[in-house]
Amino acid sequence: MSFHRIHHGVVDSTSERAFDALRRGEARDGDVHIAQGQTHGRGRLGRPWHSAPGEGLYASLVHMPSAPGPQPAALPMAGALALTDALDPGLAALGLERIELDWPNDLVAAGAKLAGILVETRGLEPARPHFVIGIGLNVSQRTFPRELLAERPATSLALLGFETTPDRVLDLLLPQLEARLSQARVDPEGLGHDYLTRTGMAGERVRVELADATFTGVLRSLSPTRGLGLQTLDCVREVPLGHVRGLAWP
C-alpha cells in the first residue's frame, strides 16, 4: 500500500474530508487525511471527539481494497493493533505497562482512554468496497474538558511521560497499519486472536450485550468471520460481531 498524506488545517472531521474526496471520485487507496484540529471530530455512536488544535493525531485513511478484500469487522481490529504496535516500544522504554484494547475501538493506558478507532463506509458496493479508518490519539494534551472527564478518564502520551509529536507518531503508525491491514486480508483469524489477547479478556468471564438480550460466558475466541466464541453453562455459543452492542467485564 502506498500512503499519500493530505494535510489540512482545522476542519470539521478528517473522515468527512475523506468521504468528500470519495464522493468527488478523487480518492485513492492509501490517502491519509491529517488535520491540525477538528471542530466535529466523532467517535462511536456519534459521540464527539475532543480535537484541540495541535495536541493530537487526527487522521483518516481511505482504504479501497480489491474485492473481496478483508472482512469489515477486521478493520477496526487492524487499526487498533497497528496503533499499539507503533506505540509499544516508546512506552516500554519508559517502563509503562502496555496499552490495552477496550472493546470495540478504544485504546486504554493506565486505566484511561488514550485513543479511538472508527471505521465507516457509506453506500458500500461489494464489487468496489471502500472504508475510511479514522484514528484519534491524544498526544500532547495536559488537560481535558470537564464534560469529557465526566464520561470516563482520559490521558495522553504527554501525561504518560512520552513526549512526541503527531507527525512522529504517524511515521511510526503507517508501516504498522500496512502490516495489520495485510494480516486482516490474509490471516483474519490470527488478527482476531491478537486482538483478543490484547484486550486481556481471553479465557475470562465477560458480559455480552445484544440488541434484545444480555448474557455472560467465558470468552474463548474472537474471529472477524465467526464472531465471539463464548462458553456458557450449557454450550459454546458463537455470536456474530455485528450483533454485539457491548462487551465488558461482568
Give tens-digit pLDDT for 170-220.
999 999 999 999 999 999 999 999 999 999 999 999 999 998 889 899 999
53: Cα separation from own chain's centroid: 21
Q: Of 5-14, 43-52, 139-148, 231-240, give the lowest mean pLDDT range.
A: 43-52
SS3 content of the chain, % helix, strand, coil (to 5): 30, 30, 40
Per-residue model confidence as pLDDT tens digits over 72-90: 999 999 999 999 999 999 9
Predicted TM-score (pTM) of this structure: 0.93
Average pLDDT in the 220-228 region? 95
Exposed e or buried b per residue across 20-32, where buried means at least 16 C-beta atoms within 10 angstroms of its C-beta? ebbeeeebebbbb
- Among 14-28, 89-103, 208-222, the least confident range: 89-103
Taking residues 18-38, report their average pLDDT. Answer: 96
Position 236 pLDDT exceeds 60:
yes
Residues ≥6 apart with Cβ < 8 Å to 78: 70, 177, 180, 181, 183, 184, 191
Which architecture does CATH list for 201-248?
Roll (2.30)
pLDDT bracket for residue 118 (50, 70, 90): very high
DSSP three-state, residue 111: coil
Domain boundaries, the chain: 4-188, 201-248
Class of the CATH domain delimited by 4-188:
alpha beta
**Mean of pLDDT values over 141-163:** 92
Grouping H, G, I as helix, E, B as strand and the rest as coil, residue 179 is: helix
Which residues are CB-neighbours of 168 under 8 A, at least 6 positions away? none
Domain 4-188 and domain 201-248, same fold? Reply is no
* pLDDT level of residue 45 (50, 70, 90 thresholds): low
d(CA 79, CA 131): 12
For residue 124, pLDDT over 80 is answered with no
Q: From the centroid of its chain, how far is CA 161?
A: 22
* φ and ψ of 170, to 5 deg: -65, -40
Q: Is the pLDDT of residue 92 over 90?
A: no
Whole-angstrom distance, CA of residue 169 vs CA of residue 80: 14
Q: In 60-72, which positions are buried (b, 16+ CB within 10 angstroms) versus exposed (e)?
A: bbbbbbeeebbbb
What mean pLDDT value characterizes the chain? 92
**Which amino acid is located at 159 in the chain?**
L
**Residue 120: per-residue pLDDT:** 94
Q: Which residue has the higher pLDDT, 134 or 148?
A: 134
Residues sharing a CB contact under 8 Å with residue 211, sequence separation 6 or more, in sequence order = 243, 245
State the average pLDDT over residues 110-137: 90
Residue 111 has pLDDT above 80, yes or no: yes
Give the E-state strand segments of the chain in sequence order.
4-11, 31-38, 56-63, 100-102, 106-109, 112-120, 131-138, 205-209, 214-223, 227-231, 236-239, 246-248
